[in-house]
């Protein structure tokens, strides 16, 4: 079956024909591509069309698709069993590696997704502090748990409102939402609610609603206020963790949270999440403490193997290489008239307006221009994320031949002939 036929069939089984909304191409138009294999920076759809992948499964594949060392490690582990539901040495090995790269993590717990990691981090923060209220920031995404699918109310002192159907007001009322990059609003909020706040959660590099790079003074002040009011500071590094430096945004900025959440890269392409940090907080998690959290596939041996094989290949030289490539590829995006491409390391975000630091500043005209770019490039064998609000990811497999191909396709779509 071709892509059209597969999509029609998929709509019989899945809401919108997909298992995650952005995959449906509703933002950019057209029919989703159905892929059957991938290697390096490329993948092939069911019609045998080859595409340069600029999405990389939304970030996990920092080495590229099907890296030989990862495939070898996973293949070897498969013969020893898919899952145990019991401890394995592979959990220890991956935890040991993570701790060596991120020394501020004293204890950690593996789960199966970023959403689970964040949900659990919120629960343990409440259990540790004995408080209920949560603070998040507009434009940051933390998965689809009820407590965090919340938008701002009508004013600083108001309660949050659900941003999805199916979330009771009683749940959203415990979460407040502030604008990013606004120290005055931050200080006013803590003066009013700091003593009631269990946790503040933020993406230190917001990259789920555009790439909203923050003034570091804002993050430092958030750290100071959480310390002052004894609220837990949670950094959601599901995207930035092991992506922008060996120790993520925390290490890059030298600003350290009480609890951090990871996902994506630590699974090497397999489903994994993690939350961890201060031992006094993490000791509240069962069976040591009263905060319950469990999972059938937590610490899955195959996922642990893929994650360890990936992290063992990450060193300073790799990040130096990706930093240079991010700058090179962003310059190619900026060959497009009106396009700007802010980037941090190997995370890029093409947009068609001046740089923004808050999601509310994103203009609809920029999204419209991105949609046209997506349509043009996908017809020329380049697969961008199917939403102008999503960022682009590079990998170690995005080398000079891929850069040349990408530049050639950009030149084709901006030429007067457009071919």
Residues carrying an active site annotation = 141, 236, 264
Mapped onto helix, strand or coil, the DSSP state of residue 411 is helix
Q: DSSP assignment, residue 46?
A: T
Neighbours of 291 (CB within 10 A): 18
Helices (H), 160-233: 169-172, 183-193, 216-228
Cα separation, 278 vs 223, whole angstroms = 15
Q: Which of 310, 315, 236, 313 is nearest to 57 (CA)?
A: 310
Residue 332 CB partners (closer than 8 Å, separation 6+): 403, 406, 407, 410
**Residues 190 and 151 sit within 8 Å (Cβ to Cβ):** no
Pick the closest to residue 398 from 322, 332, 331, 334 (CA basis): 322
Q: Which of 18, 21, 27, 49 is nearest to 372 (CA)?
A: 27
DSSP secondary-structure letter at 66?
A: T
DSSP letter at 23 equals G
Share of the chain residues as helix, strand and coil, in percent rounded to the nearest 5: 40, 15, 45
Cα(47)–Cα(62) distance, integer angstroms: 26
- The residues pairing with 343 across neighbouring beta strands, listed in sequence order, are 348
Residue-wise DSSP of 332-378: HHTTSTT-B--EETTEE--BSSS--SSGGG--HHHHHHHHHHHHHHH
**Partners of 268 in beta bridges:** 270
Structure-derived torsion over alpha carbons of residues 297, 209, 24, 27, reported in degrees to the nearest 10: 180
- Asked, as a colleague might, if the bond just before 287 is cis with ω within 30 of 0, I would say yes
State the DSSP string of 70-130: HHHHHHHHHTT-S--SS--HHHHHHHHHHHHH-TT--EEEEESSHHHHHHHHHHHHHHHHS
- Per DSSP, the three-state class of 189 is helix
């Amino acid at each position: 079956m071709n892509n059209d036929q597969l999509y029609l069939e998929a709509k019989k089984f899945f809401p919108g024909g997909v298992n995650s909304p952005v995959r449906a191409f509703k933002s950019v138009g057209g029919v989703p591509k159905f892929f059957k294999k991938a290697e390096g920076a490329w993948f092939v759809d069911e019609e045998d069309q080859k595409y340069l992948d600029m999405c990389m499964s939304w970030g996990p594949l920092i080495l590229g698709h099907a890296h030989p060392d990862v495939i070898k490690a996973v293949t070897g582990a498969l013969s020893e069993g898919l899952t145990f539901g019991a401890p394995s040495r592979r959990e220890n090995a991956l935890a040991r590696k993570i701790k060596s790269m991120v020394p501020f993590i004293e204890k950690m717990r593996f789960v199966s997704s970023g959403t689970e990691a964040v949900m659990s981090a919120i629960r343990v923060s409440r259990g540790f502090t004995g408080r209920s209220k949560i603070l998040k920031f507009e434009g940051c995404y933390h998965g689809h748990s009820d407590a965090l699918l919340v938008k701002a109310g009508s004013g600083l002192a108001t309660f949050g409102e659900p941003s999805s159907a199916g979330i009771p007001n009683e749940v959203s009322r415990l979460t407040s939402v502030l604008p990013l990059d606004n120290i005055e609003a931050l200080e006013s909020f803590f003066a009013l609610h700091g003593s009631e706040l269990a946790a503040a959660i933020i993406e230190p590099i917001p990259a789920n609603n555009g790439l909203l790079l923050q003034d570091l003074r804002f993050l430092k002040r958030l750290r100071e206020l959480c310390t002052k009011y004894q609220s837990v500071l949670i950094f959601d590094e599901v995207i930035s963790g092991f992506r922008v430096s060996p120790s993520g945004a925390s290490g890059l900025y030298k600003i350290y949270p009480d609890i951090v959440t990871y996902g994506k890269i630590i699974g090497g392409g397999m489903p994994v999440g993690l939350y961890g940090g201060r031992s006094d907080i993490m000791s509240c998690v069962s069976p040591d403490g009263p905060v319950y959290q469990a999972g059938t596939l937590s610490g899955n041996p195959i996922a642990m193997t893929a994650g360890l094989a990936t992290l063992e290949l990450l060193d300073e030289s790799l990040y130096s290489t990706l930093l240079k490539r991010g700058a090179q590829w962003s310059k190619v995006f900026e060959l497009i008239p009106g396009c700007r491409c802010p980037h941090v390391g190997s995370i890029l975000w093409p947009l068609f307006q001046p740089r923004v630091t808050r999601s509310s500043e994103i203009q609809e005209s920029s999204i419209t221009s991105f949609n046209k770019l997506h349509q043009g490039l996908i017809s020329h064998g380049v697969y961008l994320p199917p939403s102008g609000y999503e960022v682009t990811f590079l990998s170690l497999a995005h080398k000079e031949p891929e850069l040349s191909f990408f530049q050639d396709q950009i030149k084709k779509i901006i030429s007067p002939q457009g071919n």
